[in-house]
Structure 1
Amino acid sequence: MPQMSRLDWDLTNARIKTVASQHQLKTPSVGLLWLALQQYFPSQDTAFQELITDGPDDRGVDAIHLVGNDDAVTVYIFQCKIRESIEGTSKTINVDDVLKSTNFISQLINKSDDLRKCGNLRLREGIERIWNLHEAGTYCSYELVFVSNDSGIGDAAKANLASFAAEHPQVKYGQYAASDLIRDLSRTRKDAEDGQLQAISKEIFERSDGDIRGLVASVDARSLIALITEADGGTVKRHIFDDNLRVYLGSNSGYNSHIVETATSQTDSHLFWYLNNGITITCKDYSYNKGHPNPVITIKDFQIVNGAQTSHSLVESSKIGGDSLEQVVVAVKIYATGRPDIAERVAVATNSQARIQGRDLRANHPIMKKFEKLFADRDMYFERKRNMYADKPDHQRIDALKLGQIIMSYYLREPDSARTSSDSIFDSRFHHIFNDRIDIEDLLKVAKFYNRIETMRDEVSAKFGDHIESSGDLQYLIFGHWYILFAAGLLLARDSAPFPAVQDEEKLLIDAISIVARACDQTKQVAHYQMFRSPRTKEKIAAEISGKQLELFVN
């Protein structure tokens, strides 16, 4: 990649500075890393402070994140390198940079005693979690991600990585370089979209039921790629996925490798129609010439509500697949209706069998829209879908998952579940958490109080990140933020006190932190990450407040 343009340099620098200021990050490099983490894990409300390990004795690892379940986990390991001048953006990540990460993985896989001496608290706890998973029989795969604002991994470094991956089948690698960053930062919402798809022969089935029409067709993959990309043929039109129940997942995840493999195969690309579920489109209207042997389907004001992974993977395939895409045929369902409730139900039904999170399936639920309106009336933006109000000030935004965790920690007295069982918020616990019985004014106060906890957490992380243990009681903010909110609720319940005025919140916050610290000091040998996943910790906090059992505090 040649040197970045001046406009692109200004754009990326501005965004890096903005995110660094918002979260009080120590360096621009961590700001760049934060932007990459947002793209890799956009549908999670992950506390990135817990993931970032950048600092002394980080062993070439700037962030580490575990994604999976009891059977299998993917360990994402990030290394970030930032170029301080526009001239440096033409450079590449070299072999020395790569060796730091590969050496770390080798030591990790072999349970090196040297890693036990790691002086970086967050990295050491990540290492311990991974080793515990191995001992429990969980299969761990590893994905190395090199983040930079330059040209990415150099040829020699790629050769080194390829050799390492060949020796370690459980290891994959990728990059998030300047071109990826610019692509994602440049995406904006646009007006309603019209387009066309090229059907294959007369492979079209159609039906009509009053206020909805439906069509199933086999279409040329190249026409789908043209439909969803900008004039450059490589940038996806993000706004046509706005009605997809989740915000764009990004093309860097590992989920799409099989789709790309089939689409670009010289021998199996013709099997794509049989191996892929296809995509689902809702629109206001569609039309085609029934008499034509290869009709073109015109769609008006359309949205792709299912098939984001397929769509993005085909775009990636077009960059590397050559002539193989001529054989790729995609199954497409098109539904035309003017009723928004039907469009929503189609989105939910077609996604419920796909790889999608529970929060996405609930994004358009009436109660979530009601919460959005109630918060909007109070000058706050409730994000039913992650980052749907990314253009609004951070202090006025509240994510749906985070609000669910706030309710669990403060009202339901379950800070441990807020950490370990957040999936249940949009599944079995959804109606218990999001309902009409909650006092929205009180909830707003609690949500803003939690923002104070997060702000203090950012400040502590920025000041003591390298040696968090030296921050005294404040060290428990990093992993124990939900327990601090929980403790504040117990303190108010003990005193039968209403939520304090803004000017009095500081005392409540400090008292809650002190309570958590005293309870946690009893178990200093337990890793913070484990301590704040255990229900025993909340029992100790309750006992610290009054010497009574937790049940006495439950409403």
Structure 2
Amino acid sequence: MRQITDLEFSLIESKVKKSADKIGLDDRSTGFLYLILDSLFPRSGEDISSLITDGGSDRGVDAVYIQESGNVAHISIVQSKYASTIKSAGRTFPGNEIDKLISFIRDLVDRVAGLPESVNPLLRGKIVDIWRLVDQGKMIYIHIFLVSNALPLATHERKRLDAFCSQYEFISVEELSYQSIISLISSDGRTKEDGILDTVDVQKYERADCDIRGLVANVDARSYIDMISNEGGKTTSLR
């Protein structure tokens, strides 16, 4: 991947500054994390703080988002790295952070007894919630987000992380480097269409893939046809 340009770096910086100002903190790193979480997950700004686990003894986990749907629970684990200068934005995602994540997730899925006591209270609460869902018989799917306004992992580090994840059918990983970040924060300018869909059961859950956010559900086909149809009965494409 090419190096980030000054224009791209400045665009992200302006969004980070607005995010930091919004939460009343003079901390760009936290502002960046808030910006990303607000873009990845369809939640209000007041709720973002409930996702954050960043701080001392966070085991490399900056945020955790838990989404339940029937007998399934989707766990999003976010590790965020903010480059404060364009020079540092030219570096790859730090490989030593992968070791922290691998160690934490291994302890999480193996239910190591001392794990909750080894982390900060914010992360401890998330661990307790995840293990409670397992005890309730829910299937757990873990999706790791590596987010940075710099470059992605070096190839050998990504292969190492992929090798770890491949040991588990329920663990996946996604990198969001500066190009993906720009796509995320620029999505507000897209043309939007409104409509109403009827679901046929109560099982539905939210999900996010980079700049695409949505709701997974069983939809009544008639309501879909009505939504994409003009008054004259002709259908129209949705953006």
Q: Which residue of 2 aligns with 1:79?
A: 79
- In 2: Cα distance, 1:162 partner to 1:45 partner: 32
Q: Secondary structure at the match of 1:167?
A: coil
Q: Does 1:116 align with 2:74?
A: no
- In 2: Cα distance, 1:59 partner to 1:16 partner: 24
Amino acid at match of 1:186: S
Q: Which residue of 2 aligns with 1:138?
A: 138
- In 2: Cα distance, 1:45 partner to 1:112 partner: 34
Q: Does 1:100 align with 2:100?
A: yes
- Cα drift, residue 56 of structure 1: 0.6
- In 1: Cα distance, 2:65 partner to 2:172 partner: 15
- Cα drift, residue 98 of structure 1: 1.3
- In 1: Cα distance, 2:6 partner to 2:212 partner: 32
- Cα drift, residue 79 of structure 1: 0.3
Distance 1:108 1:253, change over 3 A: farther
Contact 1:40 1:250 in 2 (8 A): yes
Q: Which residue of 2 aligns with 1:91?
A: 91
Q: TM-score, normalised by structure 1?
A: 0.36
Contact 1:95 1:160 in 2 (8 A): no
Distance 1:139 1:25, change over 3 A: farther
Deviations 1:248-289 (A, max 9, x none): x86438999xxxxxxxxxxxxxxxxxxxx9xx799xxxxxxx
Amino acid at match of 1:160: R
Contact 2:40 2:213 in 1 (8 A): no
Shifted more, 88-97 versus 131-140: the winner is 88-97
Amino acid at match of 1:117: E
Q: Which residue of 2 aligns with 1:149?
A: 149
Q: TM-score, normalised by structure 2?
A: 0.80
Q: Which residue of 2 aligns with 1:365?
A: none
Contact 2:187 2:211 in 1 (8 A): no
Distance 1:140 1:178, change over 3 A: same
Amino acid at match of 1:34: Y
Q: Which residue of 2 aligns with 1:45?
A: 44
State percent identity of aligned pairs.
Answer: 25
Deviations 1:138-194 (A, max 9, x none): 1111011001001222211210111011111110000221101112333454xxxxx
Q: Which residue of 1 aligns with 2:173?
A: 173
- In 1: Cα distance, 2:208 partner to 2:132 partner: 30
Contact 2:39 2:211 in 1 (8 A): no
* Larger RCO of the pair (alpha carbons < 8 Å, separation 6+): 2
Amino acid at match of 2:136: A
Larger radius of gyration: 1
Q: Which residue of 1 aligns with 2:3?
A: 3
Contact 1:3 1:87 in 2 (8 A): no
- In 2: Cα distance, 1:101 partner to 1:143 partner: 12
- Cα drift, residue 27 of structure 1: 2.9
- In 2: Cα distance, 1:65 partner to 1:132 partner: 15
Amino acid at match of 2:175: Q
- In 2: Cα distance, 1:151 partner to 1:244 partner: 38
Amino acid at match of 2:135: E
Q: Which residue of 1 aligns with 2:68?
A: 68
- In 1: Cα distance, 2:113 partner to 2:148 partner: 31
Deviations 1:56-104 (A, max 9, x none): 1111000011012340101110000011210222221133111211111
Identify the match of residue 242 of structure 1 among 174, 183, 193.
193
1:249-328 correspondence to structure 2 within 5 Å: 251-252=209-210
Contact 1:3 1:86 in 2 (8 A): no
- In 2: Cα distance, 1:142 partner to 1:169 partner: 10
Distance 1:184 1:55, change over 3 A: same
Structure number with the higher strand fraction is 2
Contact 1:94 1:156 in 2 (8 A): no
Amino acid at match of 1:55: G
Distance 1:187 1:74, change over 3 A: closer
- In 1: Cα distance, 2:132 partner to 2:25 partner: 30
Structure number with the higher helix fraction is 1
Contact 1:78 1:144 in 2 (8 A): yes
Amino acid at match of 2:37: L
Amino acid at match of 1:148: S
- Cα drift, residue 53 of structure 1: 0.7
- In 1: Cα distance, 2:122 partner to 2:188 partner: 35
- Cα drift, residue 123 of structure 1: 0.5
Deviations 1:469-512 (A, max 9, x none): xxxxxxxxxxxxxxxxxxxxxxxxxxxxxxxxxxxxxxxxxxxx
- In 2: Cα distance, 1:113 partner to 1:166 partner: 24
Amino acid at match of 2:94: N
Amino acid at match of 1:45: S
Contact 2:184 2:211 in 1 (8 A): no
- In 2: Cα distance, 1:188 partner to 1:41 partner: 14
Q: Secondary structure at the match of 2:35?
A: helix
Distance 1:181 1:255, change over 3 A: closer
- In 2: Cα distance, 1:75 partner to 1:281 partner: 33
Q: Does 1:27 align with 2:27?
A: yes
Distance 1:167 1:154, change over 3 A: same
Deviations 1:287-335 (A, max 9, x none): xxxxxxxxxxxxxxxxxx66xxxxxxxxxxxxxxxxxxxxxxxxxxxx4
Distance 1:251 1:126, change over 3 A: closer
